[in-house]
Structure 1
Amino acid sequence: MTTRVLVTGATGFVAGHCIAELLDHGYVVRATVRDLAAHAKRAHLTDLARRTGGDLEFVAASLDDDAGWAEAVADCDTVLHVASPFPATPPDDERELIEPAVEGTLRVLRAAAAAGVRRVVLTSSVAAVAYGHEVDAVRTEDDWSVVDRIPAYQKSKTLAERAAWEFAESTSATTELVVLNPGMILGPLLEARTSTSHEPVRRLLARDVPGSVKTGWTPVDVRDLAVAHRLAMEVPEAAGNRYICATDPLWMGDMADLLARDFAAEGFRVPTRVLPNWLVRLVAIFDKGVRLTVPVLGRTEHVSADKAHRELGWTMRPIEDTIRDTADSLIAFGIVTAPDRSVTSSRAAVRTR
């Protein structure tokens, strides 16, 4: 019998690639959306299933409502709980992020346990691992971010993951839990809609910023992360484990240098100067998107993905390829265009898979 997998938040960036990965490997996929009538929002997924001949169905369920979840998890072997709130701008009240993240995660876990789902793979973040520590060190799955010393988004991811583990440890149900902790998620789009993690690349290509913020991340390619989700549901020994999925630290300035070098011939004049912190704080008064970076100015994440490599057999492509592919897809979908429209390039024909 073909295995059925539920993917939450179907129209999200990560969920879309997880669906593609599962269909490529012959799984029957059920995916949650908020509104079944909003066909346009999931047209790229419907087209994907048609092209691959895959079995994909959609059901209505929302993280802020119990309705629909019993039907969503019914007859599913595994749940990939990918859906989670991610702010485009800092919330006025941190509870706007924390409560939906925690309650939504528990809602999915309760439904899965009640239905006898074999395993839930939860998408958390390095935000639940690497933040708030007084000593700078390479963080592993044994580490947790310090809740009373971190911003709202990092706090929401930490508290949601902790709630998931507490539920898994306290329930008598046989549903297994595996958690993935990805870094900054980059990679090609599946549709003409970006996620918050694309903003540094988009802003640099579009020259929406005069330079780079002194901030660094540990990126991961969304295609590699989708593979990690599949492996996390397939590898028996993964049950009860966390897995960091991220590469070495990358400063925004390094990202700018790569984009400037590789896309100059297409007319993109990527700013390569690194902005002083005082200027970033000044701009953040007027730009809420920039405001997200203020709490992490001057720092980057340091994490190790050795456990995922060793136990899941997971691998990552070079991050330079990921950044190029991210930029290519932003250009291909018309989200950014070269200032000099007379410039042509073979990259303009690139489309995501």
Structure 2
Amino acid sequence: MTDVRVLVTGATGFIAGHCINELLQHGYAVRGTVRDLATADVAHLRAIAERTGGSLEFVQAGLGADAGWAEAVDGCEHVWHLASPNPAGLPADEDELIRPAVDGTLRVLRAAAAAGTVRRVVMTSSSDAIVHGHERTDVLRTEADWSNVERAAAYPKSKVYAERAAWAFVADQRLELVTINPGLVLGPLLHAEQKASMEVVRQLLAGGLPAVPRLNYAVVDVRDVATAHLLAMETPHAAGNRYICATPSLWMGEIATVLKAEFGARGYRIPTRRLPYWLMWLAARRDPAVRLALGYYGVPALVTAEKAQRELGWTPRPATESIIAAGDTLIRYGIVPDKGRSGNPTPTQARGTTV
């Protein structure tokens, strides 16, 4: 057990839970921030701490106010900044998403710089800050690329502006910064929660789609994202770098094929026919979320994680493993109805999922 304390912001998040598990497994003391101590669902995190014998505590601090951040960073040597604004639905004004992302990031960084003990911040950004709005869609994007905010939707814009604000802030600070830019984060849930990144798998398993739109995703396992954060913190020369974390991209139809092969025998009717653009266009006239996705129809998400593999020694799992683990736990926690309930477990249920 080490006496090095790491602050994890947004502790109840999907990625954050796995990051806390990674830190506790490696003997670090963890302090997590939650918006409200009285209502935060942290039982699954306390269970991890009990299982590992690790040190875990929580403090109240939200991205929208200064209160609590000085106490949160006090005595910490590192900060993993994972918290991000989570507005209900699609905001009418993109500034409702962008402004809190930027202000919240700067609030965390100012507190970290003022603490005097924090040496490095590892910030969770996104491949969305890299791949969107480019005129050419056939180019393999690297950490040198940034999404074109003039042609990007609100969410990618928020990721670009927040990450650029972070880099600008540390330029004249002694604080070290590393950013992790994951693709579509799949993998096992730690408890019953609905996460936006898992919607692709949930909708395919739940039978909510008559056919599969031609959308493309650079998938990464949530456990590998957590490992990348640890490597980014422990690798001395990682300071000042961005790291894409993703496997080669898959079309949604390929994800559906993986799910059908694994879960079809359990009664899940998973579509594999392609949804034509014109039909998606008609649906987009009524559904703002579909309208947003329409702009990505047929556009590949081409990124390379070669830098993370070379400089950090990061090794991702195959995307197939992440997709199946996501499906297993969506069923296990009742987010998707379990159609395999019977006297005998199916082979997948018997195998379980390593969390």
Per the shorter chain, which TM-score range?
Answer: over 0.9
Contact 1:268 1:338 in 2 (8 A): no
CA distance in 2 between counterparts of 1:36 and 1:235 reads 33
Does 2:214 correspond to 1:210?
no
1:8 aligns with 2:9: yes
Look up the equivalent residue of 1:331 and give its one-letter code: I
Checking the alignment, whether the CA contact within 8 Å between 2:325 and 2:353 is kept in structure 1 is no
CA RMSD of aligned residues (A): 1.6
What amino acid is aligned across from residue 348 of structure 1 in structure 2?
Q
Looking at structure 1, the residues matched to 286 and 12 of structure 2 have their Cα atoms a distance apart, in angstroms, of 30
The AA in structure 2 aligned to 1:18 is C
- Whether contact under 8 Å (1:189, 1:352) holds in the other structure is no
Q: Please tell me whether the aligned partners of residues 86 and 153 of structure 1 are also in contact (alpha carbons under 8 angstroms).
A: no
Structure 1 pair 91–145 and aligned structure 2 pair: CA distance change class (3 A): same
> d(CA) in 1 for partners of 2:286 and 2:179?
37
Summarize the Cα distance change of 1:87–1:352 in structure 2 as closer, same or farther, 3 Å threshold: farther
Which residue is equivalent to 1:76? 76
Cα deviation, residue 102, structure 1: 0.4
CA distance in 2: counterparts of 1:175 and 1:339, whole angstroms: 51
Cα offset, 1:285, TM superposition? 3.5
Alignment of 1:100-179 (within 5 A): 100-116=100-116, 117-136=118-137, 137-169=139-171, 171=172, 173-179=173-179
Equivalent residue runs for 1:172-211 within 5 Å: 173-211=173-211
Distance in 2 (alpha carbons) for counterparts of 1:100 and 1:72: 19
CA distance in 2, matches of 1:149, 1:35: 36
2:258 aligns to what? Answer: 258
- Residue 198 of structure 1 aligns with an amino acid whose one-letter code is M
In the TM superposition, residue 341 of structure 1 has moved relative to its aligned partner by: 5.2
| Matched-pair contact (CA < 8 Å) for 2:332–2:338 | no
Matches within 5 A, 1:285-324: 285-324=285-324
Q: CA deviation at 1:344?
A: 4.7
CA contact (8 A) 1:221 1:316 kept: yes
SS at match of 2:212: coil
CA distance in 1, matches of 2:168, 2:188: 35
Match for 1:132: what amino acid? G
Question: How much has 1:286 moved relative to structure 2?
Answer: 3.6
Match of 2:329 in 1: 329
Is residue 329–residue 352 contact of structure 1 (8 Å, CA) maintained in 2? no
- Alpha-carbon separation, structure 2, partners of 1:138 and 1:314: 19
Q: For the Cα contact (< 8 Å) 1:176–1:240, is it kept in 2?
A: yes
Aligned counterparts of 1:270 and 1:51: Cα–Cα separation in 2: 36
Shift of 1:87: 5.7
Contact 2:63 2:85 (8 Å CA) reproduced = no
Q: Which residue of 1 aligns with 2:95?
A: 95
Q: Is the 8 A contact 1:87 1:153 kept in 2?
A: no
CA distance in 1 between partners of 2:339 and 2:272 (Å):
17
* 1:129 partner SS: helix
2:4 aligned partner, one-letter code = T
How far apart, in 1, do the equivalents of 2:282 and 2:87 lie?
Answer: 21
> Aligned pair count?
350
Give the alignment of 1:205-284 within 5 angstroms. 205-284=205-284
Q: CA–CA distance in 1 between the matches of 2:201 and 2:316?
A: 20
CA contact (8 A) 1:88 1:196 kept: no
Query: d(CA) in 2 for partners of 1:118 and 1:89?
Result: 36
Unaligned runs of 5+ in 1: none
> What SS is found at the alignment partner of 1:296?
coil
Q: Give 1:289 deviation, angstroms.
A: 4.0
Summarize deviations over 1:272-293 as a string: whole Å, max 9, x none: 1110112112223444443441
- Given that 1:90 and 1:291 are in contact with CA atoms closer than 8 Å, whether structure 2 keeps it comes out as no
- Aligned-residue offset at 1:339: 4.9
**Does the Cα contact within 8 Å between 1:33 and 1:61 map onto a contact in 2?**
yes
User: With structure 1 as the length reference, what TM-score do the two structures score?
Assistant: 0.95
Structure 1 vs Structure 2: percent identity of aligned residues? 58
Alpha-carbon distance in structure 2 between the residues aligned to 1:53 and 1:344: 32
Structure 2 residue runs of 5 or longer lacking an equivalent are: none
TM-score (ref. length: structure 2): 0.95
Is the Cα–Cα contact under 8 Å of residues 340 and 346 in structure 2 kept in the other structure?
no
